[in-house]
Amino acid sequence: MKEWRILPFGKAGAVENMAVDEAVFRENIRQKALPTLRFYGWRNPALSIGYFQDYAKEVDREACRKFGVEIIRRPTGGKAVLHEQELTYAVIADADSDLFSPDILKTYRVISGCIAEGLAKVGIPAEMKADERHSPDGTLRAACFSVPSRYELLVGGRKICGSAQMRSHGVFLQHGSLLMAFDPLRTCAVMLPHRNMDQDADLLRNAVTSVGEQAGPAVGEETLCRALREGFERLLGIRLREGSLTPTEEALKEELMLKKYGSEDWNREGRKSEWISGF
């Protein structure tokens, strides 16, 4: 049975969360380390925007400042996510292994299957949809959870998990959000463009659901982490061993926090790269 590393659940700021994901990803490229599974939360509310998103056109900076929401640009693609009451996962592994595939969509399908298995353990019957859905007219298109994608997880036709991915040198990082609770009005408030916010919020409310709504308050972060861990182990046929960041990863995390994710230039402008892809 193959062994993976799992990093213990913890909450951190937006800058640190993104720096850890990228540090593990880069170090895996450098030395082909053990695949890593990570679950984490957000110490303070944060709006993460996708690698290619236009900050000026899709983020309401004043609203974020008003509500105390930090803005961070992810290393992965996709649309904006308001991280507040959620459990975030990250998988870093070799894309060309027998568990995954050089095909991005197939990798999404495998990981979505693991998450669906974990959700089933807490009584949430998530379905994986292979086809794309059409967004209702007027839905806030800057928001990840309003944008349909293949192999997304739905409960009763409503999205419960949004994910994005990046790849380089045969290694991928996929991370995504499982909403513990969802506030559509707050989500609309921090993203542009503003049209009819009440109407957009109603559309989002009908398109998105959460763990809390489906399973109730008894299923908290620790319970969900255990269920998801079992889902990954069962579907992938792996054993997860608890570990921590290596000294090299720690040093790289600190460098990324200082020079990249803590930089206003990065979070406002980003930079293009042909090997990053997201949904």
Beta carbons of 140 and 150 less than 8 angstroms apart: no
**For residue 1, what are the CA distances in angstroms to 6, 79, 228, 234, 242?**
15, 36, 18, 11, 16
Q: Name the residue among 201, 206, 199, 85 with its Cα closest to residue 156.
A: 206
Residue 277 has pLDDT above 50, yes or no: no
Residues assigned a catalytic role? 144
Residue 51 has pLDDT above 80, yes or no: yes
Beta carbons of 15 and 253 less than 8 angstroms apart: no
Q: How many CA atoms lie within 13 A of 172 on its CB side?
A: 25
Average pLDDT of the residues of the chain: 90
Residue 273 has pLDDT above 50, yes or no: no
Residue 258 has pLDDT above 60, yes or no: yes
Across the range 204-209, mean pLDDT stands at 94
**For residue 151, what are the CA distances in angstroms to 127, 129, 154, 162, 279?**
9, 5, 9, 10, 10
* The pLDDT value given to residue 103: 86
Sign of the C-alpha dihedral computed for residues 213, 217, 174 and 264 taken in this order: positive
Residue 17 confidence class, pLDDT cut points 50, 70, 90: very high
How close are the terminal C-alpha atoms of the chain, in Å? 31
pLDDT tens for 72-119 read: 999 999 899 999 999 999 999 999 888 998 888 899 999 999 999 999
Across the range 170-195, mean pLDDT stands at 93
Beta carbons of 177 and 170 less than 8 angstroms apart: no
Using a pLDDT cut of 70, give the percent of the chain over it. 91
Q: Which two tokens stand for residue 128?
A: 């994986």
Select the more confidently predicted residue: 148 or 101: 101
Which amino acid would we find at residue 123?
G
Residue 67 has pLDDT above 70, yes or no: yes
* The pLDDT value given to residue 102: 85
The backbone torsions φ and ψ at residue 222, rounded to the nearest 5 degrees and listed phi first, read -65, -40
CATH number for the 2-266+274-278 domain, one of 3.30.930.10, 1.20.120.50, 3.40.190.10, 3.40.50.300?
Answer: 3.30.930.10
Across the range 148-157, mean pLDDT stands at 84
* The pLDDT value given to residue 187: 94
> Domain residues of the chain, as ranges?
2-266+274-278
* The pLDDT value given to residue 274: 36
Contact residues for 65 (Cβ-Cβ < 8 A; gap 6+): none
Cα-based torsion angle of the residue sequence 72, 75, 80, 81 in order, rounded to the nearest 10 degrees: -80
* The pLDDT value given to residue 146: 62
Across the range 226-242, mean pLDDT stands at 97
Which of 89-93, 96-100, 127-131, 229-233 is predicted with the least confidence, judged by mean pLDDT? 127-131
Among 99-103, 190-194, 216-220, 234-238, name the most confident range: 234-238
